[in-house]
Amino acid sequence: MSAARPPDDLAVMRALADAVTICNRCGACQAVCPVYAETRIEPGVARGKVQLAAAILSGDLPVDREAAAAFSTCTTCMACEEACPSGVPVVDIVAAARAQVVEARGLPWVKRVVFGGVRRPRVLRAAAEAAARLQDAAFKPASDRDLRRLRFPHGLAARRAYPPLAAHPFAHPGPLRKAGTGPRVLLFPGCMVTYVYPGIGHASVEVLERAGVDVVAPPEAACCGVPLEAHGDLAGATELARFQLDQLEGLEFDALVAACPTCTSSFVHRYPRLLAGEPRYAARAQRLAACAYDITSYLVDVLCVGPPTRRLEATVTYHDPCHLARGLGVTRQPRELLTGIPGVRLSEMREPSRCCGGAGSFSLAHQELSLAIGARKATDIAATGAEVVATSCPGCRMQLADVLSQTGDSRPVVHTVELLAAAGR
């Protein structure tokens, strides 16, 4: 173990020094933490992480490998925050601690290379398009659904099933000038929709245009920055936040809408926090936060869309994405949209808002834990008897398809807007 760093060096965590002191160690977070349910160790749960952050801040513990491991094993699902009687901002503390780990220990070279590409939208696009062309060399089709498995599997990765990268990334030029009298919406696609599930982007355009909306897209498909912040690259995440605000400056739109709740949360919560101290950006970040919506809440709460007319005879179960249900408080709207489709019956699973274990790159960095958390979700889904699984997050869709395939369960997993688009006008 390296020597404990003096507290004066802990610049990133210092902003949350008061927050760590309000944890009363009651343990209410333990019962709801998906990581603790699998690991049964104190650093897995919020209480352990908060106490670790407090010990680092006081100089009693160093920012070492053990601390880095404890802070990295968190899906940022916010279940602990929902259960916490003291209002401890666990996810902010975890984010600050991860940034502190990078400050103290640096980013591993692989992440430096990958994040360096993610920070540059054109490099990211070129890399994604090259990877899509070459993916058949590394992956072979899985037998049970539209997923791929590694041709040369190694360890746990042998079990994982991945969706293919899109041969044609999502792109929507949008009308050059306002075409109708309806609102103008900027559809923020995000990386998962752009490069993995372009069908979610096209379905989003379809349901928005059907509701009389003019849809425009950002000039560049760029990452919202969450993967970088999740790994402690605060500088990279902040750079991407500035990039997004700069590229949207001057564009006319009434609302910013995304089909990925993690992207929406970036505009609603992260950018105002990351850019609060920057006079050039702070007010703009606040303005965007006030007009950013998840697509399901925009369709229901703002557009008040009516039900589609085409019948879809199906029993559907719905998984609540963490960043949508707890991050944005949106649970009613996707259910209203689904049950509004003639012929659709909703069969609720046990604990629909329990984390699926995906959590973006968490599913790659902690594969065993991610699969174990997801296995509970697969069991809950199977118990519903539903024919289709719906969710409102492309990342959850990917994880659910994988964990269902682990049990040989081939029922389809779709985004809510894909079912709406299929149901027509």
CB contact at 8 A, 26 and 53: no
With CB under 6 A as the contact rule, the residue among 15, 26, 123, 130 that binds ligand SF4 is 26
With CB under 6 A as the contact rule, the residue among 13, 16, 74, 421 that binds ligand SF4 is 74
The stretch among 8-16, 26-34, 52-60, 346-354 that binds ligand SF4 (CB under 6 A) is: 26-34
Site mask, ligand SF4, residues 50-69, x = CB under 6 A? x-------------------
**Nearest-approach distance from CB 239 to ligand SF4, in angstroms:** 25
Two tokens, residue 57: 């801040």
CB contact at 8 A, 208 and 250: no
**Nearest-approach distance from CB 297 to ligand SF4, in angstroms:** 22
The stretch among 73-81, 127-135, 267-275, 405-413 that binds ligand SF4 (CB under 6 A) is: 73-81
With CB under 6 A as the contact rule, the residue among 4, 17, 28, 382 that binds ligand SF4 is 28
Task: Confirm or reject binding of residue 35 to ligand SF4 (CB under 6 A).
Answer: yes
- Reduced 3-state DSSP string for 269-320: HHHHHHCCCCCCCHHHHHHHHHCEEEHHHHHHHHCCCCCCCCCCCEEEEEEC
Task: Confirm or reject binding of residue 23 to ligand SF4 (CB under 6 A).
Answer: yes
Question: DSSP of 39-53, one letter per residue?
Answer: H--GGGSHHHHHHHH
Site mask, ligand SF4, residues 82-111, x = CB under 6 A? -xx-x-x-xx--------------------
C-alpha radius of gyration, the chain, whole number: 21
DSSP 8-state secondary structure symbol assigned to residue 389:
E
- Reduced 3-state DSSP string for 103-150: HHHCCCHHHHHHHHHHCCHHHHHHHHHHHHHHHHHHEEECCCCCCEEE
Count residues binding ligand SF4 (CB under 6 A).
29
The alpha helices in 159-267, defined as continuous H runs, are: 190-195, 198-210, 226-230, 234-248, 261-265
CB contact at 8 A, 214 and 179: yes
With CB under 6 A as the contact rule, the residue among 12, 16, 52, 80 that binds ligand SF4 is 80
With CB under 6 A as the contact rule, the residue among 2, 21, 24, 286 that binds ligand SF4 is 24
With CB under 6 A as the contact rule, the residue among 10, 54, 63, 78 that binds ligand SF4 is 78
With CB under 6 A as the contact rule, the residue among 12, 33, 222, 386 that binds ligand SF4 is 33
Across-strand partners of 140? 149
CB contact at 8 A, 388 and 418: no
With CB under 6 A as the contact rule, the residue among 2, 21, 27, 60 that binds ligand SF4 is 27
CB contact at 8 A, 11 and 277: no
With CB under 6 A as the contact rule, the residue among 52, 75, 102, 183 that binds ligand SF4 is 75
**Nearest-approach distance from CB 391 to ligand SF4, in angstroms:** 18
Task: Confirm or reject binding of residue 29 to ligand SF4 (CB under 6 A).
Answer: yes
Which residues neighbour 8 within 8 Å (Cβ) at sequence distance 6 or greater?
none
Q: Which helix (H) or strand (E) holds 14?
A: helix 11-14
C-beta closer to ligand SF4: residue 51 or 347: 51
**Nearest-approach distance from CB 242 to ligand SF4, in angstroms:** 27
Task: Confirm or reject binding of residue 46 to ligand SF4 (CB under 6 A).
Answer: yes
Residue ranges that bind ligand SF4, judged by CB under 6 A: 23-29, 32-35, 45-47, 49-50, 74-80, 83-84, 86, 88, 90-91
